[in-house]
A and B are shown apart, each in its own frame.
Chain A
Amino acid sequence: MATGRLVEVYLDLLSQPCRAVHILLTCTKIPHRVRTMALRKGEHRTLDFTKLNPMQKVPVMVDDGFVLTESDAILKYLATKYDVPEHWYPRQPERRARVDEYTAWHHTNTRPHAAKVFILEVLLPAQSGSLVDEARLNRALSDLDDTLDKLESMFLRRQPFLCGDDITVADLLAACELTQCVSLQPLGGGRDVLKERPQLQRWRSRVQSAVGEAFDKAHGVLYALRDRRRARL
């Protein structure tokens, strides 16, 4: 077990991959310390943080001087170093390969397509006061639709979780990307990207059940933001 200092994680819980890391830490009760970052205040562009991570991104993990970026690397490191239940990142080669397959595919599918919808519909208008670019948003929604089709027909085909019978770090990464679009939809617009997708909704419920209160804990900041937006409408 780790001696000395607690592992530190630099997280902004409005960021999808940060939430995935937070959920794993909370769920598995790995002793840790959260350094809260506010990207909206530009805290990732400070000199100090840039020294820590020249990519100026979160999450970042610091374990007794060892600095690690990239959420999937962090999740795999934590799952390996600490005595967590094996299902998070299985050791059996074929089961592990399925997780590695999803975490690779995630980068150019779930992550960019879900994030783009959020950026176009919520972030950009909030930052610039401009209207939503409907043409670009429709293309983004179409790309996301494609991704959701693949999640259902490929990864969730005949299995309850993305990589098999049990929850893995892959499910955390995917679930947190999808909550970004869902939670911050303008109330008037009323779009839930999983609305027509009972299979994905069931998967999401399974993920929430499997992680318990860690899910809501990680999403507290996001929910609060959503509620404030709704109250203003």
Chain B
Amino acid sequence: MALELYLDLFSQPCRSVYIFAKKNNISFDFKKLSLLDGEQYGEDFGKISLIRKAPALRDGDFCLAESIAIMLYLAEKFKTPDFWYPADLQQRARVNEYLSWQHTAIRMHGSKIFWLRLMIPKVMGVEVPEDKMNAALDDLNSSLKLVEEKFLQDRPFIAGDQISLADLVAIVEIMQPVGAGLDVFEGRPKLSAWRDRVQEAIGKELFDEAHQYILGAQESVKTMDSNKMQFFKPKILRLFM
């Protein structure tokens, strides 16, 4: 059985796994999962992952959730080039450090902006109060500042001279608020220059392919069935309001 990857490219961690697999010519069965349609709660997907999140991997009998775990597993199994997850102890630690920090920083803050600017107005039919939006923007700005000042500093990439999983995970998260119409690169020359380097290292074609859905989000949200999305109301109330 071929390697299966369960992905929804609207989701940041799915994009990083997709890009990583494609870039490294890892052959896989793309199993499309629509998160907004609630497909992660289906019985079949439950057999793959009780965590019920995307991305998920199935390699024979072995099932795995969490994008970071998936990429580390693929890196090892397919012996991808060292720079993605360096064997050098300190460089690897730098990558792990970023991958750890980002969960409750850039990932959380970028996601929140996407929901506040785009999804909530669609699902709840209301605009988010200004103070909540400003607080969320402040958080995102703090995280972006740390990316520039602590994780990048003068280096071309987070772990050094070459791209790694840290940069890949960072870029897909940073693109999420961009998909909601917020140009986070404006006024940030250092971040923009890094983004250009990352895009070049990944390959513009693959980068654009992975991001076409999220960058089209503002348009596609207009045609989304808001009735279907009522399902998300309780979660939204808890998380964002």
A93 to B85 Cα, complex, angstroms: 14
Cα distance A69–B94 when bound, in Å? 9
Kindly state whether residue A38 has any CB partner on chain B within 8 Å.
Answer: no
Measured between beta carbons, the chain B residues less than 8 angstroms from A159 are none
In which size bucket is the chain A interface?
20 to 34
CB neighbours (8 Å) of B94 from chain A are 68
In the complex, what distance in Å separates the CA atom of A107 from the CA atom of B97?
A: 13
Query: Are the C-beta atoms of B104 and A69 separated by less than 8 Å?
Result: no
Nearest chain-A residue to B103 (Cβ)? A107
Of the 9-residue stretches B15-23, B31-39, B67-75, B217-225, which lies at the interface with chain A? B67-75
Instruction: Return the chain A residue nearest B13 by Cβ.
Output: A104
Q: Are A108 and B90 in contact (CB under 8 A)?
A: no
- Complex CA–CA separation, A137 to B140 (angstroms): 26
Given A55-B150, A100-B73, is A81 in contact with B89 using a C-beta cutoff of 8 Å? Answer: yes
A-B contacts counted at CB < 8 A amount to 83
Interface string of B75-112 (1 = CB under 8 A from A): 01100000000000110111011011101100010000
- Residues from chain B with Cβ under 8 Å of A71 in the complex: 100
- Known pairs A97-B73, A153-B50; A54 contacts B146 (CB<8 A): yes
Whether A104 pairs with B69 at a CB distance below 8 angstroms is yes
Q: A104–B77 Cα gap in the complex (Å)?
A: 19
Q: Does B64 contact A (CB under 8 A)?
A: yes
A76–B65 contact, CB under 8 A? no
B51 touches A105 (CB 8 A): yes
Asked whether A139 is an interface residue with its Cβ less than 8 Å from the other chain, the reply is yes
Which of chain B's residues have a CB closer than 8 A to the CB of A107? 100, 103-104
Beta-carbon contact of A94 and B62 below 8 Å: yes
CB atoms of B65 and A101 under 8 A apart? yes
11 pairs, CB–CB < 8 Å, chain A vs chain B: A55-B146, A68-B93, A68-B97, A72-B100, A73-B99, A93-B73, A94-B73, A104-B69, A104-B99, A150-B51, A154-B50
Interface residues, chain B, with chain A CB atoms under 8 Å away:
50-51, 62, 64-70, 72-73, 76-77, 89-90, 92-94, 96-97, 99-101, 103-104, 108, 146, 149-150, 238
